[in-house]
Amino acid sequence: MEFSNENSLDNKKIMEYIKNIVFEGINKYENIRQGEPLSIDRAELFIKIYVTLSELVKNRPDKSIIFEEFYRSFLPEKNYKRVEDETTITYDSKMNILRRIHGKNKITVSEIFRYNTSSSDILDYIWLRKNKLLYRGRDGKLVINKKIYSKQLDNEAMRSLELKDIYKYLDEIPSILWSRILTSNFLGRIDNNDLLGFLSKFYGYSPKVNRRLLNELRRRLANGWDPSWFEWKKISRIIEDKSLRIEKYMGPYSLQWNTPKKLNVRKIVDDLENMPLKERWKIISRIYKNKNLLNILKNLDPISLSSIGSLNRVSDLKDKVLLGKSLANIITYMITGDESYLNYSIYFAEKINPDSLEPNLRPIYRSIISGDKKKLLYYLGIIMPINSVEFITAKIWDIMSSNTGINREQLSRAIRIGYEILKYTASLSGTTLSKRKKISSIRGRMDVRKTVFNYSRFNYNIVKRDKDREFRVFTLIDISGSMIKHSLWAVLSLASIMPIVKNIILFSDKVFVNKPPGSLNRGLIVNYLEKLFIEGFKGYTNISLALRTVKKFSRSNDYILLFSDLEQTVADTEPWIIAEKLISKNKVNLVVFTPPYHNIEAANMMERAGCIVVRTKSINDIFKWFKRGLNFKIQSKLIHVRGLK
């Protein structure tokens, strides 16, 4: 990579830049070949292709995927070793930094660096820290390892660092020097996730670095990068209201500080509805004052609008907002038993003009006014089941965070309410599967008697016994906080294939194995809700543990259905590594259902490991794949249920 204090490159610097790229290619070649002896011609060919490809795709967001495919195609699969960090920095090390360190046992960072420190000195410092030749003492000073005085370090040499080393140690150096490392060329070569990491860690300290980070972000957005909602969440915490002016829509969080010229209402509403309820509330509470966004708010449900504070700003939506506030309070009353919430709910409901409500919302209003809880839950199950259960989950988590421990009585009430809502939804999903389990025929051992009989009549066909085998499906459902809506889709969609499901595994950072009933019954829904309310509150996810667990039960040709956003928050083996072993050794079929918001890079890695990745936008996408992917003749009459979209 190039590190230059000047914007223009003269011939000498161009040659230096090319030399660094070539050395980078040599290091990559050494990493992936695993010591296998290959010809000089093949090594030369690899380096030429690497140098050419580096320039061709350096500004593309999918650069890491292209390089991964190049490495995979260059070597046979059995000799291929995945390179974890695609960005390796090779530089010309002079070790001038040793002159300031010489003769000392301890030193501070301010004693090492001056304003005129070169990029090579900064990289040498990071290299010494990485190799523990400089390390932190208890007093905060840098302790100098005696090995630093060896003759090997005095010589000039080409040395390498990984991107994670820059990320880990650069903030120890004065921020005025960061711009000598974080050049536009450097930022252009890292992938989107790494760029977000550098934004969160290094933005806001150096004006020059700030400009480069924002320019790179603008360039990627202009080239078609479409960040997911949680990626925009990271960006929105850093960039102030007017720092990044782009006319296009840049995700739900950008609506707080940027109103796009062309509003695609359906797209924005879908993005908002796919977010967790609490995140949706935060955004709505900040954008409702913007009159240009009123059409977006009109398409949202009452529970989402209940976070709006001033009703005068949204006079056209006043009654819908009041209904949302009334609903929120009566559900809270049903969970806690506190009558003040019931009184507050009636107070809001009495202010509503029912004629201005949408026709499908009026039954909910009448149920609140009449105090008929059974009918209220029935209509919530038909009209807005997912958002209602999301609200119950959020309320339970609030109670758990404010109190010490779990209130079992309130938890059992919440589970009972959630079940009453979901049982109506499940009955309307409209998909059924014959209770007869699907049987597949496989070729078994040779039938000796029939084969000899054939041979005696000059018929040389070997006869094998056909053996019926039961078609089996295992489901893994992520119940972490970010997966509330999608995990509800998963549980409800299982109603259509319940007779062939062997195990339902609910997981967060723990794993819960459930033997499924013959149909989607009370036990399964209650068990799911209990684990969702308790385990989802912790916010940890370990997909690898769930895959290792299902490996114990599965056998060849089984289907494993994984419902997850692929955001693993627990330190463990990468899930695609375990998935690849499952597919190659156990010969299973692994299908991953992801919500609209998911870890795109993890999904790509799962696909390359041999998984089928299904990106779902609604519960109907899951039903359709069951019919097509599992090759079932499901009697399907998909009734449109508002809230399942």
Per-residue pLDDT of 458-487, as tens digits, reads: 787 877 776 555 667 888 888 876 677 777
Per-residue pLDDT of 185-223, as tens digits, reads: 888 888 887 888 888 888 888 889 988 888 888 888 777
Nearest alpha-carbon partner for 618 in 499, 488, 515, 494: 488
Q: What is the CA radius of gyration of the chain?
A: 30
Q: What CA–CA distances, in Å, run from 15 to 11, 18, 22, 425, 446?
A: 6, 5, 11, 67, 69
Per-residue pLDDT of 392-408, as tens digits, reads: 887 877 777 776 556 77
Written as one string, the DSSP assignment of 242-265 is TT---SS---GGGGGT---SS--H
Region 479-502 average pLDDT = 72
218 vs 79: CA distance, rounded Å: 40
CB 341 within 8 A of CB 332: yes
Region 402-419 average pLDDT = 74
φ, ψ for residue 134, nearest 5 deg:
-125, 130
φ, ψ for residue 633, nearest 5 deg:
-95, 75
User: Residue 439: which pLDDT band, with cuts at 50, 70 and 90?
Assistant: very low
Does the model's pTM come out above 0.85? no
**Among all chains, which residue has been given the structure tokens 């809270």?**
332
Question: Could you give the 3-state DSSP secondary structure of residue 68?
Answer: helix
Q: Which two tokens stand for residue 56?
A: 């061709």
Q: What pLDDT shows up at residue 263?
A: 80
Pairing type for strands 635-636 and 431-432 reads antiparallel
Residue bearing the bigger pLDDT, 413 or 12 = 413
Nearest alpha-carbon partner for 377 in 351, 413, 352, 336: 413
CB 83 within 8 A of CB 31: yes
Question: Could you give the 3-state DSSP secondary structure of residue 535?
Answer: helix
Q: Which two tokens stand for residue 434?
A: 């014959």
DSSP H/E element including 42: helix 40-56
Nearest alpha-carbon partner for 516 in 461, 553, 484: 553
User: Residue 326: which pLDDT band, with cuts at 50, 70 and 90?
Assistant: very high
State what percent of residues in the chain have pLDDT above 90: 4
DSSP H/E element including 524: helix 522-535
Which residues, in sequence order, are CB contacts of 334 under 8 Å at separation 6+? 373, 413, 417
Q: Which two tokens stand for residue 498?
A: 């319940």
200 vs 7: CA distance, rounded Å: 25
Q: Which of 63-72, 109-118, 326-335 has the lowest average pLDDT?
A: 63-72
Q: What CA–CA distances, in Å, run from 632 to 408, 472, 591, 636?
A: 41, 13, 16, 11
| Burial annotation 367-394 (CB, 10 A radius, 16+ → b, else e) | bbeeeebeebbbbbbbbbbbbbbbbbbb
Written as one string, the DSSP assignment of 166-235 is HHHHGGGS-GGGGGGTS-HHHHHHS-HHHHHHHHHHHTTT-HHHHHHHHHHHHHHHHTT----HHHHHHH
State what percent of residues in the chain have pLDDT above 70: 73
Measured over the CA atoms of residue 48, residue 51, residue 55 and residue 56, the dihedral's sign is: positive
Q: What pLDDT shows up at residue 245?
A: 59
CB 421 within 8 A of CB 515: no
Residue 56 has pLDDT above 70, yes or no: yes
1 vs 9: CA distance, rounded Å: 13
Q: What pLDDT shows up at residue 442?
A: 44
Per-residue pLDDT of 134-192, as tens digits, reads: 888 888 888 888 887 776 666 667 888 888 888 889 989 999 999 999 988 888 888 88
Count CB neighbours of 34 within 10 A.
Answer: 11
308 vs 190: CA distance, rounded Å: 40
Residue 225 has pLDDT above 60, yes or no: yes
For 21-29, the CB contacts below 8 A with 24+ separation are 21/50, 21/51, 21/54, 22/47, 22/51, 23/90, 23/158, 24/50, 24/54, 24/88, 24/89, 24/90, 25/50, 25/51, 25/54, 27/88, 27/90, 27/160, 28/71, 28/83, 28/88
User: Residue 224, by phi and psi: left (phi above 0), alpha (psi -120 to 50) or beta?
Assistant: left
Pairing type for strands 106-107 and 142-144 reads antiparallel
Region 23-48 average pLDDT = 65
Count CB neighbours of 545 within 10 A.
Answer: 20
Tell me the domains of the chain and their CATH numbers: 8-74 (no CATH), 88-281 (no CATH), 306-432 (no CATH), 473-630 (3.40.50.410)
Torsion of CA 12, 13, 14, 18, to 10 degrees: 110
Question: Could you give the 3-state DSSP secondary structure of residue 460?
Answer: coil
166 vs 129: CA distance, rounded Å: 11
Q: What CA–CA distances, in Å, run from 614 to 43, 251, 580, 618?
A: 39, 22, 17, 11
Question: Could you give the 3-state DSSP secondary structure of residue 27?
Answer: helix
Residue bearing the bigger pLDDT, 393 or 368 = 368
Q: Which two tokens stand for residue 639?
A: 């009734």
* Mean residue pLDDT across the chain: 76
Q: What pLDDT shows up at residue 520?
A: 52
Q: What pLDDT shows up at residue 398?
A: 78
φ, ψ for residue 317, nearest 5 deg:
-110, 10
Residue 434 has pLDDT above 70, yes or no: no
Q: Which of 43-52, 327-336, 358-367 has the lowest average pLDDT?
A: 43-52
454 vs 447: CA distance, rounded Å: 11
DSSP H/E element including 91: strand 88-93
Nearest alpha-carbon partner for 293 in 324, 275, 271: 271
